[in-house]
Amino acid sequence: MPSEQLSPWKVRELMTSAIDQLQKKGFDEARLNVELLLSHSLSCKRIHLYTAFDKPLTMREVDEFHVLLDRRLKHEPVQYIIGSTNFMGLELKVDSRVLIPRPETESLVEQVVFGCHELEDASKINIIEIGTGSGNIAIALAKYIKKSLITTIDNSSAALEVAAVNITAQGVASRVTLREIDVFEPVDQLLLRRFDVLVSNPPYVPPDEWEGLRPEVRDYEPRNATADSKDGLEFYRRLVELAPYLLVDEGAMYVEVGFGQAPEVSRLMETGHFSGVSVTQDLQGTNRVVKGRCRAKSRNPVVSN
């Protein structure tokens, strides 16, 4: 068949050409991009590209790769093109319905795992996550905190569909409960129980910074998972308001914050009478995680202003 005819390209030459195209357009990590796209299109592991440098490629294989490369040249994220990403060693499905998990969010998960070591005598650790997305945080916590029971909420039914696939694929469906809830609406359903830990990586990009984001984010990732509608702090105010009604007495809240936001988020928590408020850096040295403990309040109805 014509589609199986050999092309003039071999693996090495195709990679070199594609890397050059991306570099000339100013793309970071051009080699990694090409490795991921080509290994995906050839249905092989990345390492196998280097053991088959001189392998001739068919016209069909070259055409399929160029379709993927063209999408990348238009700044579509690699993770959406190949349909997956890695988070804390877990392979997760992602598409345009969800935010792509970032390496810095691994610092948030690590802090929760470290903090839960203090609760290791408990028979179970109840965790609530606000902002499910792809399910990456909930899944990682279920994997690395064996006694955890996690309720994770999101206001996007589309995101919850993706999370459900990932939760099932990772074998933690018995310990992770998905709920479609908007935290800016009354959350009486959640007030029927108390949690030991609240964790969230909320939208924290201010609207006036949206246009300045990289096109990979601005043009492809869901805006409501990235930016709020006010000043980048809207969700933190709501979390500080809700936490005393959701957590056990002296329960802990952990939140990821954007660049330069740690002082203001810390102030919000301290003003909300949280104790032990502290900030942890990510691996790049950026203040990334703010954590603190709060006193439990009675279960009066809580409605956002």
For residue range 234-243, what is the model confidence (pLDDT) as tens digits?
Answer: 999 999 999 9
CA neighbor of 186 nearest in space, from 302, 305, 297? 302
DSSP 95-113: -TTSPPPPTTHHHHHHHHH
Over range 197-225, report the average pLDDT: 96
Domain locations in the chain as residue ranges: 2-74, 98-294
At 32-46, the pLDDT tens digits run 999 999 999 999 999
How many Å apart are CA 209 and CA 179, to the nearest integer?
Answer: 30
pLDDT at residue 305 in the model: 44
**Integer CA distances (angstroms), 121 to 109, 116, 129, 146, 281, in order:** 20, 10, 22, 12, 28
- Percent of residues in the chain assigned helix, strand, coil, to nearest 5: 45, 20, 35
Both tokens of 90, joined, read: 């877990």
pLDDT at residue 119 in the model: 82
CB 100 within 8 A of CB 79: yes
CB 94 within 8 A of CB 166: no
Tell me the pTM: 0.92
**Integer CA distances (angstroms), 52 to 15, 62, 197, 223, in order:** 12, 15, 49, 40
Over range 14-42, report the average pLDDT: 97
Q: Which CATH architecture has domain 2-74?
A: Orthogonal Bundle (1.10)
Over range 185-207, report the average pLDDT: 90
pLDDT at residue 299 in the model: 64
pLDDT band at 3 (very low <50, low <70, confident <90, very high): low
pLDDT at 143 over 70: yes
**Centroid of chain to Cα 156:** 14
Both tokens of 264, joined, read: 């203001």
Over range 120-139, report the average pLDDT: 93
**pLDDT higher for 146 or 163?**
163
pLDDT at 184 over 70: yes
From the candidate CATH numbers 3.20.20.80, 3.40.50.2300, 3.40.50.150, 1.20.1630.10, the one assigned to the domain spanning 98-294: 3.40.50.150
pLDDT at 4 over 90: no
Q: What is the mean pLDDT of the chain?
A: 94
